[in-house]
Amino acid sequence: MTLSPAAALVLLLRLTLSAEPTADPIDISAVREKLVVVEDGQGHYIGVVPFGDSIWDHLYWSQDGKDFYQQRVFGGGSSGTESFDRSFWEPRVRGRSGASFGMHDGTYKLWCGERTTEFKAVEQGKVTAMVGGAKFHPPRWKYRAYALARDDAGTYYYVDRRRDEGSMEFRLYSGQRGSMKPLKMVNVVSDSEGDIFSTKTGELRLVLDKKESAWVQKGKRQQLKSLPVEDNVALIYADLGVYTGQPLGTPCDLL
């Protein structure tokens, strides 16, 4: 059987999710009775506490109803118990529309940029059974963009860093747009003056400092142009190829 490109992508994302270890589940017992679960008719679910004091912490996404991933909510609000909105972290979406989920005029909708998907409430009996058997996890994506640079030939150098407080776990990628590959860097220097990432032999080094960034290969130094991460988020997550096939654990992964 031959899969369409869209079906193949969905399968790849599902296999990636199932293959990766999940974080320790979080306790939702305090809001379990307030949780509303909605579905899109394709086996994808969103759980949310729409009103009250816990609205910033309890927005969850699940692609199977078994594992729900908490979303990083950074904005939103509500009007009485009639409508609400939640804006959540989704770096692949371009433009001012961003990514959000909400309910207006009794209809639940997910916005991933310009794309809108309608969700419908799951009947309470099914919600009770689903939530009772599901696991709720912290946000799935554990890294943040740290630094981006490129040379005059269009080769990019990108570094991400684990989100944990004080973590020195960095990952380095390089290559042309759309085909960047990871590089194994074992020595890391990171201080107030900048960062140096190098191989064990020191033959390859990425130097990112306040004055000048450079790629050093076997003693030959090539100057790089540093690019502000905050201005290139969509480029990093959607275009460079660094995270191709890796779901971020947001509602926009499969829709």
Convert the pLDDT of each residue in 53-95 to its tens digit. Answer: 766 789 999 999 999 999 999 999 888 889 999 999 999 998 7
Would you place residue 12 in the very low, low, confident or very high pLDDT band (cuts 50, 70, 90)? very low
Would you place residue 97 in the very low, low, confident or very high pLDDT band (cuts 50, 70, 90)? confident
Count of other CB atoms within 10 angstroms of residue 113: 16
Side-chain-side CA neighbours of residue 80 (13 Å): 4
Q: Say if residue 22's pLDDT is above 60.
A: no
What secondary structure, in 3-state letters, does the chain show? Answer: CCCCHHHHHHHHHHHHHHHCCCCCCCCCCCCHHHCEEEECCCCCEEEECCCCCCCCCCEEEECCCCEEEECCEEEEEEECCCEEEEEECCCCCCCCCCEEEEEECCEEEEEECCEEEEEEECCHHHHHHHHHHCEEECCCCCEEEEEEEECCCCEEEEEEEECCCCCCCEEEEEEECCCCEEECCCEEEEECCEEEEECCCCCEEEEEECCCEEEEECCEEEEEEEECHHHCHHHHHHHCCCCCCCCCCCCCCCC
> What confidence score (pLDDT) does residue 202 get?
80
- 20 token code pair: 């990766």
> What confidence score (pLDDT) does residue 255 get?
63
The whole model's pTM is what?
A: 0.83
Q: What is the mean pLDDT of residues 93-100?
A: 84
Convert the pLDDT of each residue in 132-187 to its tens digit. Answer: 999 999 999 999 999 999 999 999 999 999 999 889 999 999 999 999 999 998 88
